[in-house]
Structures are given as structure tokens and as C-alpha cells.
Amino acid sequence: PNCAVPVFYLVMNSWSHVLNKYGTEDAKQEILTKSTKGEHFVGIASTESDMGSDLGSMKTKIRPEGDKYVVNGEKMYISGIGEAQKYGGGHVTLARMSEDLGTRGMNLFFLPLKDTPGITPTFIDELGREGISFGGFNIENVEIPKHYLIGEENKGFYIIHEGYELARGLIGLVCVGAATKALQNGIAYIKERKAFGRPIGKYEGIQFKLAEHHVRIQALRELSYKALWTYDQEAKGKASRFDVSMSIAMAKSVASQWAFDAINDVMQWQGAFGYTMECEDQKALRGVRSFTLAEGTVEIMKLIIARELLGKEFLAYR
């Protein structure tokens, strides 16, 4: 119920996909052969302590130096740091290579964390999603081989969005799973719990909410499957960039809120017990809350939808 296992899957799957599509053969042989066996962790590191959605304000820098790159900066609010340090692997990481080019001057590369000189981790307790580590790390003169570059130089900003979009589609299904389980728990409870001489499931105030949540979660399931199907279709040349951006953003924009509302009402039906740590649904509530932020905030999803409907000239930012 706490969403930790699905987070492992969506992070590993999304960013291994990017590495597999754009990484060098040497990097794929070195990293993916182990991650597919569960021996290495592959995550994403883009956000910083004072930078999230606005990738253009990124401060972490990367520069070429002979047959390697040198990286300096910091990453914060990152999942899987402890796993990468313990078991091996690392994070698909974004850094600025050119100050003058803005988002057109960023590199995407693989940054190993285990036994890497210059990496200093910091761990943070999350509100939910227990079971996967969370925190950040300082990067001080860290050297990485050039074959760890993912895609071309200065193309990192564009490549990273492919990973984000896949992860966003998967988040929709994580929210479906969490809400579905909570509703199952709620249905079982309201059939048995009595108030004023009859099961509370007989009261319309609860029945109406149950029906509304069921419809929303089924709609979210369809939105999420459509989003991921469209993502696959683009790779086959059968869907446009507009189709992918719109379908992914639509699913992600409502996933966490619809799931949160459903789980929250299930906890309300359970009365005082619903406000205890003994109620397993509280784990799901705290877990889905993270997805209003992770892999792109709900607000950014709405901006993407509006951009696709109105055109880029109506963007409030540049």
C-alpha cells in the first residue's frame, strides 16, 4: 500500500529505457546487464535543493577534460541513493555544459554512486513510500568516462523528457492500484460496520462517493493505458509528439488527486480507526501524495495540456 515497490519499478524501467535507447554500447553492457538481473539500481537525478520544474535554472555543471567529464554540483530529492550505493548502479543525471545555451546546453549522463570519489550523500525521511531511500548528494570534481554520456552533447534536456513521460504514464497506474486496493478495503468495511442499526454502506452519502470514486479510478485506468499505448505508438511512427504529450499529461494531471480523494474517503468511512497508523490505507494516502510532485508536478502537467491546446506562443515562461 505504501507505493515503494511500484516506485522501484517505474524508476528502474523508465530510466533504464532511456539508457538503453541513447546510451553507448559500453555503458549498456556495463550497467544494464546487471540492472536487469536486479544487481544494479538505475534512477534519475535532475532536481536540486532550489530547482525542480525549472530545469533551466540548474546549477550542476559538467565539463569535458581529456577522455572524461568532470562534474560539480548537487542533486536533491532523489530516490534510490542508498540502493545505488549498496548494490551498485547509479543515476541518469542532468547537468549544465554551457551557460550561454540554456536548456540547449545540457548533458545527460550516467553517474555511478558506489565507491565514487567526490560523492557525499544525504538522506531524508519521506512522508511516505517507505522501502526506498530518499535524499541527495553533493558532487565534487567527480570524474566519469566519456562513454557514460547518454545521447549527444547538449541534447540532455530533450532526451530526459522521454524518461519523464514514461514514468508519468506508469505513475497513473500506480495510483490506480493504490486507490483500487483502498476501495476494496472500504467496500468490505462499509458492508460490516453498523451505525444507527444498519450497515453504513446503506447510506446514500457513502454510496454516492463510492460510485464517484469507482468511475474516476476506472477512467484513470483507461487514461493511463492510453497514455502508455500512445508512448509506444510514437516509437513506431504511429503517434505524434502532440498525442504523446497530451495523453501523458492528462493522465498524470489527475492521477494523484483522484487516488488521494478516494483513499481519503475510505479512511473517513473508517472513523477514528482511519486516523491511526494501524489503518493500512494511510500508507497508500502518503504514497500517492508524492505523485503530485514526482516526475513533474500537477501544475506542470496542466501547463503542458494548455500549451498543446493554445500553442507555445501562449506559454507564460520562456
At 106-156, the pLDDT tens digits run: 999 999 999 999 999 999 998 988 889 999 999 999 999 999 999 999 999
User: Would you state the pLDDT for residue 32?
Assistant: 96
Q: In the chain, what are the domains?
A: 4-153 (2.40.110.10), 158-314 (1.20.140.10)
On whether the CB atoms of residues 89 and 42 are closer than 8 A, the answer is: yes
Beta strands in 85-231 (DSSP E): 89-96, 106-112, 119-123, 134-145, 149-150, 194-195, 198-199
Say whether 108 sits in a helix, a strand or coil: strand
Model confidence band, residue 315 (pLDDT cutoffs 50, 70, 90): confident
Secondary structure class of 313 (helix, strand, coil)? helix
Q: What pLDDT digit, counting tens, does each position of 58-103 carry?
A: 999 999 999 999 999 999 999 999 999 999 999 999 999 988 898 9
The question of whether 222 is a catalytic residue gets the answer no
Out of 280, 295, 299, 308, pick the active-site residue.
295
Average pLDDT over residues 27-47: 95
Give the model's pLDDT for residue 318.
Answer: 61
Q: What is the overall mean pLDDT for the chain?
A: 95
Q: What local confidence, expressed as pLDDT, does residue 316 receive?
A: 77
pLDDT at 202 over 80: yes
One DSSP character per residue, 211-234 reads HHHHHHHHHHHHHHHHHHHHHHHH
Question: What pLDDT, on the 0 to 100 scale, is given for residue 136?
Answer: 97
pLDDT value for 178 = 97
Environment class of 245 (CB within 10 Å of its CB; exposed 0-12, middle 13-18, buried 19+) = buried
pLDDT at residue 33 tops 90: yes
1 falls in which pLDDT band (50, 70, 90)? low
Question: What was the pLDDT predicted at 4?
Answer: 78
**Over the stretch 250-301, which tens digit does the pLDDT of each residue have?**
999 999 999 999 999 999 999 999 999 999 999 999 999 999 999 999 999 9
| Residue 179 reports pLDDT greater than 70 | yes
Instruction: Count Cβ atoms below 10 Å from residue 105 Cβ, excluding itself.
Output: 16
